[in-house]
């Protein structure tokens, strides 16, 4: 059994980890931590756990000492010290925050206004996009779990970029997310009277996921990729829809695109390339670890339109983190993650 601990269990991604791990046959959850709720049972914060999991929230130190596999679901700037402890004590560490996603400290300084305090650790980090970096993840001890928007976008573009089918290196990306993507902290935008019956873009050209998106797409393309990334807030709890616009090379046919996507993804359990004419819809990925991708062709301008949908709390956070853990421990990758989205 894998002895697992969760630091930051009181947040949305942390409690989603707990919900999913309770169904994992190879996991024993030995400790959960929530600094603001230390000494309180998780079932008082989230009554859905009442009678199922009444574990008491302990200190972060307790979690670190008791567990061999540590998940940290914390705001940026807080995870390095926990990763250092795990590194020094031969424990595995998966960070659901932003501290181990960016390769360059300069990008972290620019977009998050912080420095790396444990610089040597960042030479060991692996970006945990499972379907792309599986071989590296197998050998990793520190994982930077991808952001939710980057997951939907990079999986949507991966086959196309690897095969060099894009005409230019600038993409327009229009993404919409449910309100859980903003986390549990209160804000004006996610206050119910403000977001209900509303729909609007936010952080236009300034969202912190931008450098992560460009970093990973550039690796896939072996060239510098630039994006105009515009996120929007949907008045729903969870789900992401990313619509991506790509100019195709003149000699590329739509049938070539369809074949390549099926070649890359037909053996990937969690990625579903939809039949031509179908449109990916967040309703059918909610509460699941699936990424649904639909491909559309604008023949007037020889442009590909990619729609990629995920549940931001599962494939975009807790589910992908567990998928990473499964790969790290060389167990069935789908363990604990085979749930199907409700149909209505």
Top-tier CATH class for 2-145+315-328: alpha beta
The pTM of the full predicted model, rounded to 2 decimals, is: 0.96
pLDDT of residue 197: 80
pLDDT of residue 186: 62
pLDDT of residue 304: 98
Contact (CB, 8 A) for 247 and 168:
yes
pLDDT of residue 240: 98
pLDDT of residue 257: 98
Exposure on the CB side of residue 127, measured as CA atoms within 13 A: 21
Element (H, E) at 255: helix 254-265
Name the residue ranges covered by the structural domains of the chain. Answer: 2-145+315-328, 149-312
**Is residue 57 annotated as a catalytic residue, yes or no?**
no
pLDDT of residue 332: 97
Along the chain (344 residues), what's the average pLDDT of each consecutive run of 10 residues? 97 96 97 92 95 96 97 96 98 98 97 95 97 98 98 98 97 94 71 80 94 98 97 94 98 97 98 97 97 98 98 98 98 96 88
In the set 57, 148, 195, 291, the catalytic residue is 148
Q: What is the 3-state secondary structure (H, E, C) of 9-66?
A: CCCHHHHHHHHHHCCCCCEEEEEEECHHHCCCEHHHHCHHHCCCCCCEEECHHHHHHH
Query: Phi, psi (5° rounding) for residue 24?
Result: -100, 115
Top-tier CATH class for 149-312: alpha beta
Exposure on the CB side of residue 38, measured as CA atoms within 13 A: 9
């Amino acid at each position: 059994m894998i002895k697992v601990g969760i630091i930051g269990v009181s947040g949305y991604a942390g409690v989603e980890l707990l919900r999913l791990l309770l169904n994992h046959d190879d996991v024993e959850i030995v400790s959960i931590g929530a600094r603001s709720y230390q000494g309180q049972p998780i079932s008082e914060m989230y009554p859905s756990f009442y009678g199922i999991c009444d574990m008491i929230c302990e200190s972060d130190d307790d979690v670190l000492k008791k567990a061999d596999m540590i998940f940290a679901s914390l705001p940026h700037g807080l995870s390095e010290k926990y990763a250092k402890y795990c590194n020094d004590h031969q424990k595995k560490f998966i960070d659901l925050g932003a501290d181990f996603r960016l390769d360059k400290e300069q990008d972290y300084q620019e977009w998050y206004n912080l420095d790396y305090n444990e610089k040597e650790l960042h030479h060991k980090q692996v970006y945990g996009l499972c379907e792309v970096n599986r071989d590296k993840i197998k050998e990793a001890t520190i994982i930077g779990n991808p952001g939710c928007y980057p997951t939907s976008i990079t999986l949507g573009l991966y086959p196309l970029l690897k095969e060099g089918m894009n005409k230019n290196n600038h993409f327009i990306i229009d993404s919409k997310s449910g309100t859980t993507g903003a986390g549990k902290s209160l804000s004006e935008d996610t206050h119910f009277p403000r977001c209900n019956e509303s729909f609007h873009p936010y952080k236009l050209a300034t969202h912190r996921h931008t450098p992560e998106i460009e970093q990973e797409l550039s690796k896939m393309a072996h060239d510098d990729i630039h994006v105009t990334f515009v996120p929007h807030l949907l008045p729903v709890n969870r789900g992401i829809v990313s619509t991506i616009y790509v100019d195709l090379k003149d000699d590329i046919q739509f049938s070539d695109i369809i074949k390549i996507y099926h070649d890359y993804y037909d053996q990937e359990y969690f990625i579903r390339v939809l039949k031509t004419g179908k449109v990916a819809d967040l309703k059918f990925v909610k509460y699941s670890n699936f990424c649904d991708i639909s491909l559309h062709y604008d023949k007037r301008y020889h442009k590909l339109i990619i729609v990629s949908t995920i549940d931001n709390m599962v494939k975009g956070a807790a589910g992908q983190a567990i998928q990473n853990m499964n790969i790290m421990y060389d167990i069935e990758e789908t363990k604990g993650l085979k749930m199907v989205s409700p149909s209505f």
